[in-house]
Amino acid sequence: MDFDWLRKHGSFPKENAEAYDVVKKYSDNLKANLDSGKGLILRGPAGTGKTSIAVSILKRAMTLGKGCLMISMPNLLDTMLTLSKGDNVAYLRFEQKLRNIPLLLLDDFGAEYSKSDWVPSKVESIIIDRYNRMKPIILTTNYSDTWTKENYSQRVYDRLRGEYAVAIFNGESHR
Ligand SMILES: Nc1ncnc2c1ncn2[C@@H]1O[C@H](COP(=O)(O)OP(=O)(O)OP(=O)(O)O)[C@@H](O)[C@H]1O
Ligand SMILES: [Mg+2]
């Protein structure tokens, strides 16, 4: 499924017209956004199409020759916790990849939160590092802006708020 396919065949519910416009604008300026480190947040309830449309942007980024990595947050944290207890080289390689890949898609941001204390600080460090080096992140989340503010540090919240386009999805699940 890519963005053009979605345009043609997707049932674009009226309540998501604005969200799709934000995504379309981001996608139309993708090269400039990737080069300037501008990210995108897709926020909204389960099943509203956030991950599908995020993947369509990744596919477009790949046609521009940009390396992309998609990982769900629970999976990211499980991998980090497991690797951090074992082979140091494998762990560092994984973390370097998260920091250096041109476009990172963090799917289900917030779903990792309860797993450990170490986790939010690790995620914060990666987000801030990528921000400083103008490397964009696309982030999907079920959590509200307020939740992010309360559960991540002000430093992360400010960066996400200041430098990211935000598409808010509403309505019923497509599932
Ligand atoms: N515009 C659309 N029209 C019809 N079906 C869609 C549309 N967008 C996505 N879908 C379908 O709806 C289902 C849910 O989509 P998706 O996984 O992208 O939602 P999500 O917002 O990421 O949900 P979650 O918050 O649970 O991760 C999928 O089966 C997907 O193929
Ligand atoms: Mg999803």
Atom of ligand 1 nearest to the CA of 11: 3
pTM of structure = 0.91
| Domain carrying residue 18 | 3-142+159-168
**Of the candidates 95, 103, 97, 98, which has an alpha carbon nearest to the alpha carbon of residue 38?**
103
Q: pLDDT tens for residues 104-126? A: 999 999 877 665 677 678 888 99
Task: For strands 137-141 and 39-43, give the pairing.
Answer: parallel
Q: What is the dihedral of CA 51, 53, 56, 57, to 10 degrees?
A: -100
- How many helices (H) and strands (E) the chain has is answered by 9, 5
Location of structure tokens 């802006």: 145
The reported pLDDT for the residue numbered 175 is: 86
Number of domains in the chain: 1
Domain presence at residue 66: yes
Domain presence at residue 83: yes
CATH number for position 127: 3.40.50.300
103 Cα to the center of ligand 1, angstroms: 21
Atom of ligand 1 nearest to the CA of 52: 18
**The Cα angle at residue 115 between residues 111 and 121, in degrees rounded to 5:** 90
The reported pLDDT for the residue numbered 10 is: 63
Domain presence at residue 154: no
Domain presence at residue 96: yes
Does the structure show a pLDDT above 60 at 18? yes
Domain presence at residue 97: yes
Top-confidence residue, 144 or 15? 144
- Burial-class residue 108 by CB neighbours within 10 Å (0-12, 13-18, 19+): buried
Q: Which ligand is nearest to the CA of 46?
A: 1
Please name the residue whose Cα sits nearest to atom 18 of ligand 1. 49
Domain presence at residue 127: yes
Top-confidence residue, 31 or 157? 31
The count of C-alpha atoms lying within 13 angstroms of the C-alpha of 18, restricted to the half-sphere facing its C-beta, is: 10
The reported pLDDT for the residue numbered 11 is: 63
Contact 168, 44 (CB under 8 A): yes
Domain presence at residue 44: yes
Location of structure tokens 């999805």: 169
Domain presence at residue 148: no
Ligand 1 pocket by Cβ (under 6 Å) = 6, 10-12, 46-52, 108, 140, 142, 174-175
Q: pLDDT tens for residues 47-105? A: 999 999 999 999 999 999 999 999 999 898 888 888 989 988 999 999 999 999 999 99
Please name the residue whose Cα sits nearest to atom 15 of ligand 1. 49
